[in-house]
Structure 1
Amino acid sequence: MRTSDVYLTGIGVHLPATVSVTWAVQNGRYPADHVDLHELTGAAVAGSLPAPEMGLLAAEEACDRSGQDPKNVDLLLYADSWHQGPDGWQPQYYLQHHLTGGGPLAIEVRQGCNGMFGALQLAAAYLQGVRSPDRARTALLVAADNFGTPLIDRWRMGDGYIAGDGASALVLSTERGFARVAAVGAVAVAEAEEMHRGDEPLFPPGPTVCRTLDFPARNTEFKRGSINGGAGTGALLRIHGQTLALVERTLADAGIGMSAVTRVAYMNYSREIVEQRCMVPLGLPMSRSVWDFGRTVGHLGASDQVVALNHLLCTGQLVPGDHVLMLGVGPGVTLSCAVIEILWMPPWGG
């Protein structure tokens, strides 16, 4: 989707202190043979700090950096991929209570690891659709997760990644900002939804009977073909093909080619996954990825790409005219992509 006159005016991040993979190995939490294989070094661990509180901290920083009065935000989207608090309660209202007030439309986006992309697409469409001549419209996008709960093991969450806690936030506006959302897009390989479901029953839902989350086991069942008649391999090939097609469409919508991509913000996965599933297919070297940073904090749910963008800005690795390709994959299987053009360096940048 080509976006017109949608800008980033602020980014906020909250990352708790990291716990090293060395500690996890010494305490029997992480397989020793995975250290050299995946080259991950640690994960951000929030302890008992709730995800919505981290989201509030990130949102406050984003609003402060943008000079945006949160009371004047028109749209609040809250993305998450893990449990946020009491059942029957929704986290976006925590931010309304403590930050924005009750004015903006507030919606929780449940799209797993691609939640921030879904929020970006929805917000861009909203801003372009309800723009009024007398004032700019703004949206606050927030993502937050704390995986330190009994139903998941962050150190064995999946093959080639470990779960990190953290939060990120974006302030979008139709007023010119330091970066432009040039394009954003998504596609689903729907027949691969079994990849994250496995043969687990849909009812009763796992958390209601204290069933732990085991993505590796579900993926094994999917690849083995016990639940899809052997269709798993074909679905995996379609995921690869659809990823490349999505990137090509999104770059075309942004009006650039691959040669104009300065950096790629992908999932915080192992080196071999980032290299073989992302950088090699795109024809780009690993030096254009943000893997060296992502390996230190873990897979942050829906925040990987925004936190990476913030890192690139704060460490002076971007200059005006650069284009950042943000690419993600999540349950669904959904594939998401966005192109961010840097217009000028914000004062809080490196």
Structure 2
Amino acid sequence: MRWHDLYIAGLGAFLPPPVPTEEAVERGWYDPEEAEENELTAVLVAEHECAPDMAVAAGRQALARSGHAATEVILNLHANIYHQGQDFWTPASYVQRHTVGGSGLAVQIQQGSNGGMAALEMAAAHLSAAQAGPSALITTADRYCPPGFDRWNSDTGQIYSDGAAALLLSRRFGFARLRAMVSTSDPGLEEVCRDTAGFSAVPHEDGEPLDLRSRKKRYVKNHGYDELLERLAAGTAANVRQTLTDAELTLDDMTWVVLPNLGRALLEWEFLEPLDIPLERTTWDWGRQVSHLGPGDQFAGLDHLVTSGRVRPGDHVLLVGVGIGFNWTSAVVDIDSVPDLT
């Protein structure tokens, strides 16, 4: 989809203090062989903050930087993967109340690690169709902690960081334009992260941390490792190819590519090889110091490029997201100006 007159007006991030992966290895939390393979140097750990409060902090920052008033926000989307601090409530409404207030629609998005990017496309469609109100606020936030989740061992090829990110999308103005965006899926792969032993009546029924590794191993045993790799790589390549076609640009035109903050080996076969891009054109040097923020990698990564002065007017930035399910969303963003964030 080619978009017109949609702007990124503000970005925000709440990133807790880092814990070096070297320390985690020394303490016996993290397998040394995986640490060597993943090449991630740190993970972010929130000691006290809950996910929705981190989202509020990031959302307030994005709003303050945007030059927009809270009354202009007609849509609030909040994306997450994991527990938001309480059961049976609506964190999107909490984030809305403590960022912009008002009477706009507030919706929680649970689309795995692609939640932030999927929310961006939903916001773009909503603003393009809406007759009143020029902007939407998107937040992402998660906190991964025991007893339900072991950030070091519940999954493979990545480690999970606490934190939040936010983006304010506007029909009025902004420092960057949303040029094109495409979402695709392969629901035949939903079983990769589903426990085929059956459904439980309550969360974490057995009292143990989530074991995504065993689920993936079961899928590979039943369907084959090569097939999984081929479908994931093909899904990524096809999605990005369509976005670039809609944008009327090529990968060579992209100044930066913002990818999920995954381990090096996983990043190689799922993104770098299928897209044929060098590591140096990605945000890996930053991402390996942050690790996986779930649905927030792309917004936080773009925020890093802007705040560190790595983008210039005229640059094109490609954002690529993928989430279990499996679903992909990629977007081309044109940098029109560099905001003064001092």
Per the alignment, residue 329 of structure 1 pairs with: 322
How far residue 129 of structure 1 moved from its aligned partner, in angstroms, is 0.5
Instruction: After superposition, give the CA deviation of every residue in 1:203-254 in whole Å (9 maximum; x if it has no partner).
Output: 32443553421111110000000xxxx3664354222212111111101111
How far residue 71 of structure 1 moved from its aligned partner, in angstroms, is 3.2
1:295/1:35 CA distance change after superposition, 3 Å: same
Matched to 1:101, the amino acid is G
Per the alignment, residue 189 of structure 1 pairs with: 186
- Residue 199 of structure 1 is aligned with which of 196, 201, 212? 196
Matches within 5 A, 1:87-166: 87-132=87-132, 137-166=134-163
CA distance in 1, matches of 2:7, 2:53: 26
Matches within 5 A, 1:41-56: 41-56=41-56
1:63/1:151 CA distance change after superposition, 3 Å: same
CA distance in 2, matches of 1:211, 1:36: 26
Per the alignment, in what secondary structure is the counterpart of residue 87 of structure 1?
coil
CA distance in 1, matches of 2:273, 2:87: 42
Matched to 1:172, the amino acid is L
CA distance in 2, matches of 1:13, 1:5: 25
Matched to 2:198, the amino acid is P
How far residue 271 of structure 1 moved from its aligned partner, in angstroms, is 1.7
Matched to 2:109, the amino acid is V
Per the alignment, residue 218 of structure 2 pairs with: 221
Instruction: After superposition, give the CA deviation of every residue in 1:56-105 in whole Å (9 maximum; x if it has no partner).
Output: 00000000001222233100000000010221111111123222224111
CA distance in 1, matches of 2:328, 2:90: 25
- Residue 302 of structure 1 is aligned with which of 273, 278, 295? 295
Matched to 2:169, the amino acid is L
CA distance in 1, matches of 2:25, 2:143: 21
Is the deviation greater in 106-115 or in 192-201?
A: 192-201
Per the alignment, residue 40 of structure 1 pairs with: 40
Per the alignment, in what secondary structure is the counterpart of residue 207 of structure 1?
coil
Task: Figure out how many residues of one structure are paired with residues of the other and give that number.
Answer: 342
How far residue 184 of structure 1 moved from its aligned partner, in angstroms, is 1.4
CA distance in 2, matches of 1:210, 1:106: 32
How far residue 50 of structure 1 moved from its aligned partner, in angstroms, is 0.3
CA distance in 1, matches of 2:46, 2:139: 17
Per the alignment, in what secondary structure is the counterpart of residue 112 of structure 1?
coil
Q: Which runs of 5+ in 2 are unaligned?
A: none
CA contact (8 A) 2:82 2:143 kept: yes
RMSD of the TM alignment (CA)?
1.6
Q: Which runs of 5+ in 1 are unaligned?
A: none
TM-score (norm 1): 0.94
Per the alignment, in what secondary structure is the counterpart of residue 55 of structure 1?
helix
Is the deviation greater in 111-120 or in 236-245?
A: 236-245
Matched, 1:167 2:164: yes
CA contact (8 A) 2:92 2:106 kept: yes
CA distance in 2, matches of 1:198, 1:32: 27
After TM superposition, where is structure 1 displaced by more than 6 Å over at least 4 residues in a row? Answer: none
Matched to 2:105, the amino acid is L
CA distance in 2, matches of 1:60, 1:211: 35
Instruction: After superposition, give the CA deviation of every residue in 1:154-194 in whole Å (9 maximum; x if it has no partner).
Output: 01232221100100011110012100111111111111101
1:50/1:114 CA distance change after superposition, 3 Å: same
Per the alignment, in what secondary structure is the counterpart of residue 155 of structure 1?
coil
